Chain A
C-alpha cells in the first residue's frame, strides 16, 4: 500500500479537502498516526487558551515586540546612511576581487598551483634522492661528483636568481618549501571538504589559461627541476 506523502498530510491538516487522503487514512493506521500527531502539533498549540483572549502558543512564541516608534522613523535614515557610507568607501578589495575574479579563474589558478606543487614536489624528491645517491656514490668512489659540483651544474642551467635559489635545496626557500609541503600533504578529500573543488579538466584548462610568458616560465621552471625530461605545457 502506498502511504500518504508528507505534502498530502500537511495539506489535509491545513484544511485542504482531500477525500482520497481521508479514505486512505481510514484504512492505514501508520498514516493515521502520523496525521493525528501533525494535527495535534498544529492544533493543540493553536487551540491553547490564551489568558489574553483568543490567541495561541504559536502566536505567543512568534510574538515580536514592537520597537520604539522612533526606531521606525529613523530606520530609513539609518539605511540611507549605511548606503552612503558603502558608496563612499566603494567596493573593498575583496568586493573588487569578487567582481573581477571568477570562480573558474580561481579554480584554474589553484589548479596551476597544485600542478606545480605536485609535479615539482615529486620531481624534487626524486632529484633529491638522485643527488643523495650521486653524492653517496661519489663519496664512495672519491670522484668529482660531490655536492657542490652537483649544485653548480644545476645552477649553471638556471641563470635566473629566483630559480638559482631553488636549486638543489628547495627547503631553503620559504615559498618553495610551502609549495612542497602543500603538495606533499594535500589530501584531496580534505580539499573537497574545504570546498576547494577542481572540476574535471580544470588542471588542463589551467595550463591553457596561462599566457605565453607564463607557460614559458612554467616550462623553464619544470625543465630546470626535472632536467632532461621533456616538459610540455602548450
Chain B
C-alpha cells in the first residue's frame, strides 16, 4: 500500500480498508471502486513510467495502459503481494517492452517538459543540471533489466525484496544486477567524462 493510500481509502468512505477489499470491490463492479484504485496509485505508476521513459507523453500513455491491463487482470491479482507492487510489475514490463521497441532512441534528457526548480545561480544550476543529465543519460543506456533495478531501487526506493517480486527474480539476482548496473554506470560516466574532456581540449586547441 502506498503512503497516503489508507487516508484516501478512508476518506472515500467506501469501506475498502485494504487492497484486497478494494480489488474485491472492483471485481464486484462496485461503483467508483476502480476509479479509487486509479486515484490511489496513479502518481506512483506515472513516476515509475516517467523515470523509465523520460517524457510525459510516454509516461501518461503507459500509465493508462498499466491500469487497463490491471483491470483486465484483477481476477489474477494475488493478495500475497501489495497492489502497488503488482502495478509496478505491470508497469516495468510495459516500460521494458516500450524501451526495447524504441531503443536506442530513448534517452531521457533534461528539459523534456521539465518545470525547473526555483531559480538559482545560473552557473551552478547549469553544472548541477549537466551532472544530472549525464547520470540520467547513463541510466538510459543501461541494459533494460539493470535499468529497471536502478529505477526501482534508487528512484522508487523499493527494498530489494520488493524489486525481486516486481521484476520476477530472486533477491540475489536483483542485488547482482544492481551491482553490475553501478559498474556499468561508472564506466559510462567515465567514458562520458573522458569524451567531454577530449572535446573541450579540442575546442581549446582550435
Contacts and interface: CB of A to CB of B under 8 A. Distances in A.
Interface of A: 5-7, 9-11, 37-38, 40-42, 45, 48, 50-52, 57-58, 60-67, 71-72, 75-76, 78-80, 82-83, 86
16 contacts: A7-B179, A11-B175, A38-B183, A45-B135, A48-B131, A57-B132, A60-B132, A61-B139, A62-B154, A64-B47, A64-B51, A66-B115, A72-B42, A75-B42, A75-B46, A82-B68
A79 B178 contact: no
Given A58-B135, A65-B113, A76 B180 contact: no
B182 A65 contact: no
A50 B118 CA distance: 13
B175 A86 contact: no
A122 B50 CA distance: 55
Contacts, number: 104
Nearest to A6: B179
Given A60-B128, A64-B50, A67-B46, 8 more contacts: A6-B175, A7-B175, A52-B117, A57-B132, A65-B114, A67-B60, A71-B60, A83-B34
Contacts of A61: 132-133, 135-136, 139
Interface in B50-84: 50-51, 56, 60, 63-64, 67-68, 71
Interface stretch (B14-22, B95-103, B119-127, B196-204): B119-127
A50 B128 contact: yes
B35 A76 contact: yes
Contact of A76 (B38, B68, B113): B38
Contact of A65 (B42, B43, B115, B154): B115
B191 interface: no
A78 B62 CA distance: 12
A75 B42 CA distance: 8
Contacts of A63: 114, 132
B168 interface: no
Given A52-B117, A52-B120, A79 B179 contact: no
B118 A52 contact: yes
B185 interface: yes
A80 B178 CA distance: 37
A76 B179 contact: no
A72 B71 CA distance: 19
B25 to A, nearest CB: 15
A45 B136 CA distance: 12
A109 B51 CA distance: 42
Given A7-B176, A65-B113, A82-B64, A57 B42 contact: no
